[in-house]
Structure 1
């Protein structure tokens, strides 16, 4: 074990001295500051060698450059860990369970064997070991959450279940997450889902986590992606343990035997109940004060992260104004709360000379701020951005408690490592990617320009310098964060807010000086029952922010719709961005080449020419102008909206008759897509098959199941059974003819793909369902 720790120390510790296990990990956390505090002196030979490599680093080889950047090596550990996790999710089939541990063991053994070689060699082995660890953790996490998944939709059936989550939606509609389900009508049919998500149109009553209800529901498997490369809800549902989704066929009936569970489960349900009560308290206080409906839910979203029935138009206005981050509890909110609490506690203690002169009130203040931010984390439900923000603020506050200097890039390194170690699947979510992209960009950006900015500020002191630098800080922060997250915003949402700088310039001061202080005041008054007017005051500030969002989003060209981006472009952009941000010397600029290559790859990406819905009810084809034309615009609403968004056409679907070029024609029996002397026929009935539609080299899709010998012309036939098995079919017209990719092909043989049976893993039966 000592060998392993000493070898890891060569990578994580930017100086040499005699080490023990305790000092090794202390240096891992605090870096050079710990060296100065404990008085360890570096080896003179190491200092001389390092000075030489630093001099050679500007013009030397790769080895010299790596050695010169040695203190930055640790910053790459989340990248290495995340690469292993990403590799697991990118595989087309479930890997054998021993692959990850084998890779991890080989890399650790190699690192120990070469520990006396040049330092970058064991560091490289450590990088691959971290990748193997990430690969292993992702696989084990997938197996740990394995639960049965429904394979076929059901008719209306009766169930009895316990409520674990309650999410209010628009117009009195609720969405429940249910567990501990009993299936009186499906008993003995095989493994059944243990967790469901159900939408209730007529809920009525007051619903709380822990209640047991009886209701009739119509269920279906978690929906597959709308097209190859689209958002994969079935994968998210797998890691949430949700085996079926659906809707209630009638109002639920409350049963008297509530089930609050035991141990940690009881605590979790208690916290969920507290969040629910606090949400209702905030909404009632704001709406009873005469403010518009929905303002209270925005206020609740800033405190408990329960957004509720906020108007879709208002949500879109926030997004188009670049203010969507305000509705997500992340770094801005956590930092504001920590700063306000720190200022209030320290200011109050400083007003008592007997305490201020005898006790370390700064440490007391840091402890109080740490406790309050932890409570904020719990009451918010601990989403990924809030976890990251709490970890970073917590490291800063703990550093104050121990008289240490917090190292920003090290703090975000710890936050990323902890989240990835606990929840590897978070890497694939928009929340994780955008949150960390923004913070990495801000820290590295201010690290680069901070000294010059500080010197310029020191030279310009005056009456208006403080407000000027505050505004400049908002603009600079917005610009850096917006640039860092732009690529991820386009990848996940196919939309970019062009006036984000203006929106944040106007809205962030309102949030910082009005909304969040009012929320903190409300919490202080809550024990006395006097918090209603403070919540109303917070609501008035949110009205001002909402007005700003609606005004900015209404400006001409406030948002730009963009087509779907390939995953390869996102990966290349991310690696180039890390190379640019994590190194210090001039070779960091090589990262710009990777980012430029990613943009070029996105620009050259070619979307599908034709899309066919798995139900056989809708077809979409691309015309000569690049627009997606639809065979019909009244069916498959959710699927159609996703296709339109991925095509970069906003929200408006274009009917086939409105196309600029006559490449697609439809009638009562189906549609025909013609392009470059090639043909694709989409038929609702098989009667026309023996005709010209079955020519060799063409594709014929039939919505109904048909016999394989009904198309003797040599064309490729895809019938209704193949459509449903493969999911959405995407077609590209190449020089060699039609190229086809299905959602089933894109997902691969993974546990969350209910179309296939998982292979290669020991828990392949975890996705079992019933017929």
Structure 2
């Protein structure tokens, strides 16, 4: 798909140049987006389409701004001033792209890079002016068997490039994490950014209000207290010290990564059995969590062994929330929520906020995607994707 979009854009640019028109405009971006959406309308909701077109819109909008054009325009000046001006222009374009892509990355991947534009100030000139010429010289001299010195210099330049990359990646500001957010918040951010980028008058800055408000909500939103996978096998709990603990210690790396990213957690997920407030047997775990000014009692199944109905009914009666990857009997009646296999088949994975007593499910009652089994009905009193 990205290759097709690039091909369409290249053809439009060549056509515009052939007609003597300024091809790098927002009309080009709109035409390319229109062609893609006519052929593949489902691409609109994908991160690839959103991020690629958002980056291009940001670059074209910045390039069309009179102040930026004046700043980067060629002029008669000293070499160092020209280099500084070019670096400042590169930094501005990098920051524009990162700021536009950050909300999209946070919504789809729950993380966004923030120092890429700074790293590019070194990486792009180093790659363009040092690494690529050295590789070309090494390949040329390899014809006579004399390319070894140039390959050695290329390796040292790549070592410097990796040093910059690792230095930026190790910074605490390199990546911003955020828990999963609702589509309404993401939609307001997109509308606000498009308002800023497409308008030309002073009204364009009004789009910053919804963007700023929604980004503040995203960055200030706490991690959910409980995350439950769609099959009920994997449960992650937020600990008192801000960490996360997994129900199954042998959960695979993929399950752990999904749980951590969905919660906006950057750290190791410890085993639930190590928590002082957890009491676990090979088949059940009872955990006591605090949230919303009170304590919540959780009961979690962690094996496929059948549990006596009388014992299960007794334990469920003392629990506020019960989570299981099996279908629990009717005798299991917790005080607040029973998330068993039958319930999760209707709601999908769950994110539970104990501070506000709110639950958000992965499925919606009006979901029409053909690869998702449509929920027959949501629990009584709940609508859409919000319980």
| 1:408 correspondence with 2:29 | no
Contact 1:702 1:720 in 2 (8 A): yes
Pairing partner for 2:282 from 646, 668, 683: 668
User: Structure 2 vs 1, CA of residues 714 and 474 (structure 1 numbering), >3 Å: closer, same or farther?
Assistant: closer
Alignment-derived partner of residue 418 in structure 1: 35
Distance 2:347 2:270 in 1: 26
Residue aligning to 1:274: none
| Number of aligned residue pairs | 358
Structure ranking higher on relative contact order (CA contacts 8 Å, 6+ apart): 1
The alpha carbon displacement at 1:481 in A equals 1.5
CA pair 405-721 structure 1, distance change in 2 beyond 3 A: closer
Report if aligned partners of 1:566, 1:605 keep a CA contact under 8 Å in 2.
no
Post-superposition shift, 1:493? 2.8
The one of 43, 57, 64 equivalent to 1:440 is 57
Alignment of 1:305-704 (within 5 A): 383-384=1-2, 386-448=3-65, 449-454=67-72, 458=75, 461-513=77-129, 545-555=161-171, 557-603=173-219, 605=221, 607-656=223-272, 664-674=278-288, 675=290, 676-684=294-302, 685-687=306-308, 688-694=311-317, 698-704=320-326
TM-score scaled by length of structure 2: 0.77
In structure 2, distance between residues paired with 1:417 and 1:447: 21
Within 5 A, what are the aligned runs for 1:681-760? 681-684=299-302, 685-687=306-308, 688-694=311-317, 698-708=320-330, 710-711=331-332, 716-723=337-344, 726-733=347-354, 739-745=358-364, 748-754=367-373
The residue aligned with 2:383 is none
Report if the CA contact (8 A) 2:245-2:271 is conserved: yes
Cα separation, 2, equivalents of 1:727 and 1:475: 42
Once the two structures are TM-superposed, the CA of residue 604 in structure 1 deviates from its matched residue by 5.3
Deviations 1:420-466 (A, max 9, x none): 222222222222222222221122123222243157x53x5124344
Give 3-state SS (helix, strand or coil) of 2:354's partner. Answer: strand
Instruction: Return closer, same or farther for 1:595/1:668 CA change in 2, 3 Å cut-off.
Output: same
**Per-residue deviation, 1:725:** 6.4
Query: For the residues of structure 2 that align with 1:521 and 1:726, how far apart are their CA atoms?
Result: 60
Verify the 8 A CA contact 1:518 1:537 in the aligned structure 2: no
Counterpart of 1:178 in structure 2 is none
CA deviation map 1:324-351 (0-9, x unaligned): xxxxxxxxxxxxxxxxxxxxxxxxxxxx
- C-alpha separation in 1, matches of 2:269 and 2:366: 26
**Structure-2 separation of matches of 1:712 and 1:474:** 61
Deviations, residues 654-699 of structure 1 (Å, cap 9, x unaligned): 333665xx6654333322343324433223453332215325x933
CA–CA distance in 2 between the matches of 1:522 and 1:402?
A: 42
CA distance change for structure 1 residues 672 and 483 in 2, over 3 Å: closer, same or farther? Answer: same
**Does the Cα contact within 8 Å between 2:243 and 2:265 map onto a contact in 1?**
yes
Cα distance between partner residues in 2 of 1:603 and 1:464: 39
Residues 430 and 492 in structure 1, CA contact (< 8 A), matched pair in contact too? yes
Counterpart secondary structure, 1:691: helix
Map 1:190-209; keep pairs closer than 5 Å: none
SS of 1:468's partner is helix
Residues 258-297 of structure 1: matches in 2 within 5 Å?
Answer: none
Q: 1:636, CA displacement in angstroms?
A: 4.1
- Report the CA distance between 1:625 and its aligned residue: 4.5
Q: Is the 8 A contact 2:234 2:246 kept in 1?
A: yes
Taking a change above 3 Å as real, the CA distance of residues 577 and 521 of structure 1, as seen in their structure-2 partners, is farther
Q: Give the TM-score, by structure 1 length.
A: 0.41
Report the CA distance shift for 1:663/1:611 in structure 2 as closer, same or farther (over 3 A): farther
- Higher Cα radius of gyration: 1
Q: Partner of 1:251 in structure 2?
A: none
User: What does the per-residue CA deviation read over 1:542-580, in whole Å, with 9 as the maximum and x for residues that have no partner?
Assistant: 665444323432346533433333322221111111111
The C-alpha deviation readout for 1:613-670, integer Å capped at 9, x for no partner, is 34444322223454332223322431222111222222511333665xx665433332
- Structure 2 CA distance for aligned equivalents of residues 720 and 463 of structure 1: 68
1:464-500 deviations in Å (ceiling 9; x for gaps)? 3443333222222212222221222222333333432
- How many angstroms does 1:511 deviate by? 3.5
> 3-state SS of the aligned residue for 2:245?
strand
The secondary structure found in structure 1 opposite 2:313 is: coil
Contact 1:611–1:731 (8 Å) recurs in 2: yes
SS at match of 1:431: helix
For the aligned residue pairs, the C-alpha RMSD in angstroms reads: 3.8
Shift of 1:596: 1.4
1:490/1:496 contact within 8 Å kept: yes
Deviation at 1:598, TM superposition (A): 1.4
Tell me if the contact between 2:245 and 2:272 (Cα under 8 Å) persists in the aligned partners.
yes
1:698-718 superposed Cα distances (whole Å, 9 cap, x missing partner) = 33334433432x236776544
The offset of 1:407, in angstroms, is 4.8
Return the alpha-carbon distance in structure 2 between the equivalents of residues 722 and 521 of structure 1: 65
**CA 1:631–1:706: 2 relative to 1, 3 Å:** closer
Distance 1:579 1:751 in 2: 33
Distance in 1, Cα, partners of 2:199 & 2:87 = 29
Cα pair 2:57 2:197 within 8 Å, conserved: yes
